[in-house]
Chain A
Amino acid sequence: MSIWTIARKEWQHQLNGLLGYLFCALFVGATAYPVFFSQSYGNVFLSGVADLRAFFGAFPFTFSVFIPALAMRSWAEERRLGTVELLLSYGLPEGQLVLGKFLGQYGLIVLSLALTLPVPILVGQLAPLDWGQVLCGYLGALFFAAASLALCQFLGTFSQHQILAFLLCSLAMTVLLMVESTLLNFAWHFQNVARGVLDSRDLVFYALFCLVFLFASRQTLITRFWSRPW
């Protein structure tokens, strides 16, 4: 029950300010731009082809900016204001706290993704789209976002400065997008799913990544809470 309470609080906190709405609007703009506005071949009007590769291709790099921006204040702000100690003193299990915060922020990402749906629907008005591929693209994006958010939240536990947390998370995301290994490269796993194939190797990779870093966040909370004041 506490998970949902924290998630709701986190969700409301984002939507009470301008940041959440700005996040959604910019995210939609950044993903729609290559499909309808850019001067490259990803633009469906220039290429004359109903192809969403440019749309889904924009997701990893958009996430690498937006998710750190979203996650930076998750723990850093709590630490700066000292509210994390208060939260922990309520006797809330650390795991529930981590999961609640994660779900609250993940909800905003899901909402942002849902708001990009007009793009494939509009392209679908121009030519018959392969909806199976589109579904895979969105599923891949959900898994990608979950793993990235878990990582960024974990890195956020180490800093009480939002900017520092953002830079740290952005750096980590960039490394994961550029790393020369098919096993660890986030973009490669996403591309694999977005081409229209649900492969357990990609989905399990993201799921495990998410699980490990959520657990790591919990353990970090425990060790920090018991080792020294926040």
Chain B
Amino acid sequence: MVIRRALFLFLIVAVCAGLVGYLAQALPIRVDMTHEKRFSLSQPSREVLAKIQEPLSLKLYFSSKVPVRFEIVQQRALDLARAYEAAGGTKIKLVIIDPDENETSMNEALAIGLKKTQANITEKARLEVVEIWLGMAIFYEDQKEVFATLPVPDNLEFEITSAIHRLIQKERPVLQMVGPAVAEAIKPNRSHDLDSDMLPLKTELEKTLRVKQTLVFPGEPLDLSQAGGVLVWGLHVLDRSQLRSLEEAILRGVPVILLHSGVEVDTTQLRAFEIGTSEADQMLAQYGVNVNRDLVADSQCQTIKYQGPEGPLLREYNLFPLLSQAMGSFVDTFPPNADLQSLLLPWVSSVMATNPDWEPILFSSDQAWVQKRLFILDPDKVPGPTSFDRFCLAREYNGPLQPYFPENTGLASQNAHLVVIGTDHLLSQFQNPGNLLFMNRLVDYLLRGSQLGNIPRAENSIRPIRETTAAERRNFQLISVALAPGLILIWALTRSFLRNRRNRKIAF
């Protein structure tokens, strides 16, 4: 009787637990405890959703039976999609479809350009390939955005919000990327190639903007009439008429990012030369800012792969300063810097202002030093510091500007918006995740007032550690394992001592 009662009670408890578990699954409550609220719908996304006028349909094409790791991706995507649905109110409709369920759904999925994703699974010690549906499509009016395969789950919010932004924004601003072409007129190995090293940036920016590439050749006119924003690198090779066009755009109020190196670096030969003063420098001097002819080296540097005479080597490269929040490199008041964790500025020159209205936005650590005139790039031979200092590496200007070119005098602007960064090599260093994020945020800030750039991104959760010496690292290792056992030992000895004293008292 007792046994039967016990078993019966256990069954009741198990059933109740199952019901509670089912309810918890059906009505989830989530609290995002991360600093940047990385797993919740961010304010920029909510602001984009608030602009939706017509019903928007968010369709998830998911196979119902998938390997566990894809189940996790599906679950996270579904949670996020539900957050969009909740934030969008009646304007967003969430639909979950398994195209394998019926032919109509399958045809619909194929018609919008979805296809099955191949996934490797291990079944009974054999590697098998299965095909699953893991796509998404967003429909708005007569337009659609399709993700044949879901992007990285941690950046899904940025991808979805960007897609919604593309759908609801009929006229996307044009960002004109302007730089010297790789031609005989310009030194080889100098210019960035839009189709290779700058491709990640272009792809990223094209998610929310129209990107127009303009490669300039000496003597050819530079047309910036359509530009909503301009990003320029290799400024020193622009001729007078091209610089005048650039100034016209600046004076029209077009926000401009100038990536201007003070030193010419030949990356293949690891040689550097001081760039002679160009017309661009004179123009910037008129505006109240100078990019110095120096190279900032920093004790807070990046480990890079360096092609030595005996093959590739991993070296700490002092001429690749790694800026981080931990050492106060990012000026908080500059919106693109908000919560930014790291930024890599290779071969960077210091940026000095003669006009106090040029606000600093990026700094080296206070353990930086400069090389002048004689530039040594070999990581093994970079000279050590004679003195340490903190250098400004980028500045922003927002306000009235006196034109440099007399022809532009009539265009004097009240709202010029410029950012000058002391290197254009950051464009090719997207292996550091902060770089892509920073450029994306910078463009977003200048063109749209930080609408999308501040959506939390996985890349930004990477927090570089400060520089440590070998002795310090040993101390850290020792403390990590010795502190806890030490505490235990002290506690055990105290406990033993107290017990012995108590026992002695009793015996006495």
Which residue on A lies nearest to B470, using beta carbons? A45
Q: Which residues of B contact A45 (CB under 8 A)?
A: 465, 468, 473, 476
Question: Which stretch (A30-38, A57-65, A75-83, A159-167) binds chain B?
Answer: A30-38
If A127-B324, A200-B30 touch, does A219 touch B464 (CB 8 Å cutoff)?
no
Contacts of B72 in A (CB 8 A): 182, 188
Q: Is B20 an interface residue, CB under 8 A from the partner?
A: yes
Whether B28 contacts A219 by the Cβ 8 Å rule is no
B-contacting residues, A171-230, CB 8 Å: 180-183, 185, 188, 195-201, 204-205, 208, 211-212, 215-216, 219, 222-223, 226-227
B467-508 contact mask (Cβ, 8 Å, vs A): 1 or 0: 010000100110111011101110010010000000000000
Chain A nearest CB, measured from B25 CB (Å): 5
A129 within 8 A of B: yes
A220 to chain B, nearest CB (A): 8
A116 x B477 contact (CB < 8 A): no
Q: A36-B480, A219-B7 are in contact. Are A201 and B24 (CB under 8 A)?
A: yes
Residues of B within 8 A of A227 (CB): 3
Q: Which residues of B224-249 are within 8 A (CB) of A? A: none
**Contact stretch, chosen from B8-16, B134-142, B206-214:** B8-16
Q: What is the interface residue range for chain B against chain A?
A: 35 or more
Whether A48 and B481, one on each chain, are in contact in the complex, defined by CB atoms closer than 8 angstroms, is no
Chain B nearest CB: distance from A202 CB in Å? 9
Determine whether the beta carbon of B477 is less than 8 Å from that of A201: no
Stretch of A84-92, A96-104, A131-139 at the chain-chain interface? A131-139
Interface residues of B in 453-475 (CB under 8 A from A): 461-466, 468, 473
Cα–Cα distance between A223 and B483 once the two chains are bound (Å): 46
Please pick, from B9, B24, B324, the residue contacting A200 in the complex, using a CB distance under 8 A: B24
CA distance A216 to B35 in the complex (A): 40
A111-161, CB < 8 A from B: 115-116, 118-119, 122-123, 125-133, 135-136
Decide yes or no whether A19 CB sits under 8 A from chain B.
Answer: no
On whether the beta carbons of A223 and B7 are closer than 8 Å, the reply is yes
**Interchain CB contact (< 8 A) of B476 among A29, A36, A115:** A36
Q: Are B479 and A118 in contact (CB under 8 A)?
A: yes
A33 CB to nearest chain B CB (Å): 8
Which of A1-9, A20-28, A66-74 forms contacts with chain B? A20-28
B186 an interface residue at 8 Å Cβ cutoff? no
In the bound assembly, the distance between CA atoms of A27 and B298 in angstroms comes to 39
Query: A115 contacts which of B6, B24, B487, B495 (Cβ < 8 Å)?
Result: B487
How far apart are B365's CB and chain A's nearest CB, in angstroms?
13
CB contacts (< 8 Å) of B464 on chain A: these are 48-50, 127
Chain B residues with CB below 8 A from A211, complex form = 13, 17
What residues of chain A lie closer than 8 Å to B487, measured between beta carbons?
Answer: 115
A44 at the B interface (CB under 8 A): yes
Give the contacting residue for B488; candidates A21, A126, A131; CB below 8 A. Answer: A21
Cross-chain contact B488 with A219 (CB below 8 angstroms): no
In the bound complex, do residue A49 and residue B465 qualify as a contact, i.e. CB atoms below 8 Å apart? yes
With known contacts A127-B324, A198-B33, A48–B465 Cβ distance under 8 A: yes
Kindly state the separation between the CA atoms of A118 and B481 in the bound complex, as whole angstroms.
Answer: 9
Q: Is B355 an interface residue (CB 8 A)?
A: no
Within the complex, which residue of A118, A129, A183 is in contact with B480, where a contact is CB–CB below 8 Å? A118
Q: B33 near A133 (CB under 8 angstroms)?
A: yes
Asked whether B484 lies within 8 Å of A226 as measured between CB atoms, the reply is no
A10 contacts partner chain B, Cβ-Cβ < 8 Å: no
Provide 18 A-B residue pairs closer than 8 Å at the C-beta atoms, listed in order of the A residue: A24-B488, A35-B480, A37-B477, A45-B476, A126-B465, A126-B468, A127-B463, A136-B33, A182-B68, A196-B32, A199-B30, A200-B24, A200-B28, A204-B21, A219-B7, A219-B9, A226-B2, A227-B3
Interface residues of A (CB under 8 A from B): 15, 21, 24-25, 28-29, 32, 35-37, 44-45, 48-51, 115-116, 118-119, 122-123, 125-133, 135-136, 180-183, 185, 188, 195-201, 204-205, 208, 211-212, 215-216, 219, 222-223, 226-227
